[in-house]
Structure 1
Amino acid sequence: MLAILAFCLLVQLYYVLFVHLKLANATVEEVPFIGRKPVSVIVCARNEIKNLNEYLPSLMTQNYPDYEVVVVNDRSWDGTEEFLEQMEERYSNLKVVKILDNDKFLAGKKFAVTMGIKAAKHDWLVFTDADCTPASAQWLMDMQQPADENVEIVLGYSPYIKRPGLLNALIRFETFFTAVNYLSFALKGMPYMGVGRNMAYKKALFFKNKGFAAHMHIPSGDDDLFVNAHANRSNTEIRINMESHVWSEPNRTWGGYLKQKKRHFGAGKMYKAKHKFILSLQIIFQFLFYGFFVASMFLGREAQYIAGGIFLLSLIIKSFIYPKLLKRLNYGDLRWWFPILDILLFLFLMLNGFLAMFGKKKVNWK
């Protein structure tokens, strides 16, 4: 049992020292001073008048010489249409696309995103959500098309706003580890996902690969499944400069968070086999590590000391890496709580994965 516990630690250390450490040691590039090419920002909104009123102005006032913001109003009935009409009069670079109710097809976010992409007049597309706000007016400068024309995808980072309570801490901690994973693997040459709150890619890449046709039947995945299918070592870069972060409103209820994770759980089944393998391995050995550690506490005193030493070694090694990453990714307030949050989050996600296998299969984006 102790040998298996030690082996589980070694597997975990591969992810910590050979994957995540890359992000901890990565140089954060400065934001460019000039905008090289025009940009189209795509935002999909369904009954988001409150968030649009609060956050849309921050998108319209970016320090970038040539860009448009395309807002797709997906069948809203809360006054979004009237609000966007007023905003169009105020901002000349705002374009509104309206989707009407149609009983002939089941619309969803992927359809809304596709309509926004079709309406965009520029090849470089930057994506965010209606409940998001850039950390600075330099956001588009950093998320613009890189000088290397071979780069077709840029993966950004989107932390959640701090609110009181355990749920908020768990949401932010889960977002942190998700970001550490996908950003680190991208640096390692194996990009497997992105987050639609802050990412960019070429319009030509979208149409060359027939958009979301391969996974249109999955409610989620307009961001991670697209990246999973088309990102590779040579065509993908990341951006983690704090000026290019995009802050987002977190879920305020446990039910809303579970619903969100259920959507993501369904998308993960469509990942490439190699990505599912390496991510499943990560989760399985984390589960085994905690499981065998607890089981070791029922052995003799000497075995308990050895198991405790292995567990302590794991915490010490992680303590040299994750607090630095938490600070780099705008979650510095959580760095002293990460051992406790790591365990709580793991238990919560295990429960969520179990619940996701039951209940209704249909999950709408809004």
Structure 2
Amino acid sequence: MELNLIEFTLLIALVICLLIQLYYTLFVHVKLARYKIAEIDAEQREPISIIVCARNEAENLRENLPKLLSQNYDQFQVVVVNDRSWDGTKELLEEFSKQYANLKVVTVSEGGSFIAGKKFAATMGIKAAQYNWLVFTDADCVPASENWLSGMQKPVNRDIEIVLGYSPYTKKRSLLNVLIRFETFFTAVNYLSFALKGMPYMGVGRNMAYRKELFFRNKGFAAHMHVPSGDDDLFVNANATADNTIVQINRETHVWSEPKQTFLSYIRQKKRHIGAGKLYKPKHKFILSLQIVTQFLFYALFVALLCFKATQLIALGVLVLNIIIRSFVYPKLLYRLNYKELRWWFPFLDVLLVLFLVFNAILSIFVKKVSWK
């Protein structure tokens, strides 16, 4: 059956989108699927400062701070920055300070205008840190094991200045939770895989580490202090290189976090992330934009080709081929990154995520105001 010009053009566009998507799958993400996960290094080297920024996090700190303070590591401190909290955080931290000698509390008082939000608190914590190797997490996060710090410690290689960890969200019984966890998975696969490929472009502040001297040598957050978010990904984007960055995905080093419970709060969170992404290096913005655009176009073109009788079977064949090839990579990655129960829903979640990302991108055009807390 012969194809007319419109059918032929749409089909060629579909194939081009498929090839671009398979590049990300077979030449980037496969690196993480094949990555040999090392055992936790039992030898403890440099002392560590854990940095936690907290704004009205009394409940989370009461539950999670003891788990940070009791890590199986000989010499470390936990620096908690109380950023103008009014929920009893101050009193709670005073209580913990009496119990734990390795807890240091930094208080950001009311007064003045802290437009940079969390970045100001993080800077205060970094300045107060006693040790050069800094490990970052949040008040609502829980390390997967007491060996978390051993896995996130300074590597033997002196050139390494940044370690990118992984932080999954806990499972809840809702479609929103499934979407959040799959989006987190997709983001992690991207930044971890590109780091392994020699192009690190972001990290997550729930679980990452870097040298204190790296922070001050490159003037900290000065280049993007005007942006409310980006204390993690923008810092990595500006300072990470192929030679100074490694990844750590051993299950004992995962840091579990509580996901948003409402769609509105999740949208606000993603809005902050998009705002930071606009300041990525041009090459990083290009590769990420190309990935999302071609992924959306692939499904849009597939639907369009189903409207033509002559191209229905071909379009279905291309879709099935795409699913089969990608199924050799992503289910394995879902298992590696602690989301094994999502493996069977991969094709459906892939479409759902694309629709959400497009919706969020459009929404970001109209909603400008963002804040940390």
The CA distance in 1 between the partners of 2:49 and 2:228, in whole Å, is 24
- Please give the secondary structure, in 2, of the residue aligned with 1:28: coil
Equivalent residue for 2:370, pick from 340, 344, 363 = 363
Q: Deviations over 1:273-299 (max 9, x none)?
A: 000011111011111101110000011
* Structure 2: gaps (5+ residues): 1-9
| Structure 1 residue aligned with 2:315 | 307
- Residues 116 and 227, structure 2, Cα contact 8 Å, conserved in 1: no
- The corresponding residue for 1:206 is 215
Q: Please list, as runs of the form range in 1=range in 2, the aligned pairs for 1:111-122 lying within 5 A after superposition.
A: 111-122=120-131
Distance in 2, matches of 1:12 and 1:240, equals: 24
2:50 is paired with a residue whose SS is strand
What secondary structure is seen at the aligned counterpart in 1 of 2:274? helix
Moved more, 180-189 or 103-112: 103-112
What percent identity do the matched residue pairs reach? 66
Deviation of the 1:318 alpha carbon = 1.0
Structure 2 CA distance for partners of 1:100 and 1:107, relative to 1, 3 Å? farther
1:349 equivalent among 341, 352, 357? 357
Per-residue deviation, residues 133-182 of structure 1 (Å, max 9, x unmatched): 00000000000000011000000000000011000000000000000000
In the alignment, is residue 289 of structure 1 matched against residue 289 of structure 2? Answer: no
Q: Secondary structure at the match of 1:316?
A: helix
When residues 223 and 107 of structure 1 are mapped into structure 2, their CA distance, relative to the original with a 3 A threshold, is closer
Match of 1:121, SS state, is: coil
State the distance in 1 between where 2:340 and 2:112 align.
48
Give the residue type in structure 1 aligned to 2:217: K
The aligned counterpart of 2:7 is none
> Which segment drifts farther, 336-345 or 241-250?
336-345
- TM-score, length-normalised on structure 2? 0.97
2:88 to 65, 79, 92: 79
TM-score normalized by the length of structure 1: 0.98
Q: Paired residues, what number?
A: 364
The question of 1:326 aligning with 2:334 is answered yes
Partner of 2:76: 67
Give the equivalent residue in structure 1 for 2:49.
40
Q: Distance in 2 between matches of 1:50 and 1:346?
A: 35
From 224, 233, 236, the equivalent of 1:227 is 236
User: In the aligned structure 2, how far is the partner of 1:105 from the partner of 1:33?
Assistant: 41
Deviation at 1:349, TM superposition (A): 1.4
AA aligned to 2:250 is: N
User: Considering only aligned residues, what root-mean-square deviation do their CA atoms show, in Å?
Assistant: 0.8
Residues 114 and 120 in structure 2, CA contact (< 8 A), matched pair in contact too: no
Question: Which residue matches 1:241?
Answer: 250
Structure 1 unmatched runs, 5+:
none
1:126 corresponds to 2:135 = yes
Matched residue type, 2:110: D
How far apart, in 2, do the equivalents of 1:23 and 1:81 lie?
A: 42
Mapped partners of 1:135, 1:355: distance in 2: 35
| In 2, Cα distance between equivalents of 1:172 and 1:213 | 32
Q: Output aligned runs, 1:183-202, within 5 Å.
A: 183-202=192-211
Structure 1 residue 113: deviation in Å?
0.1
Displacement of 1:348 after TM fit? Answer: 1.2
Please tell me whether the aligned partners of residues 296 and 355 of structure 2 are also in contact (alpha carbons under 8 angstroms).
no
Give the Å deviation of 1:104: 5.0
Find the counterpart in structure 2 of residue 55 from structure 1: 64
> What whole-Å deviation, never above 9, does each CA across 1:204-241 have from its counterpart, x for those lacking one?
00000111000000000000000000000000000000
**Map of 2:36 onto structure 1:** 27
Partner of 1:142: 151
Corresponding letter in the other structure for 1:335 = R
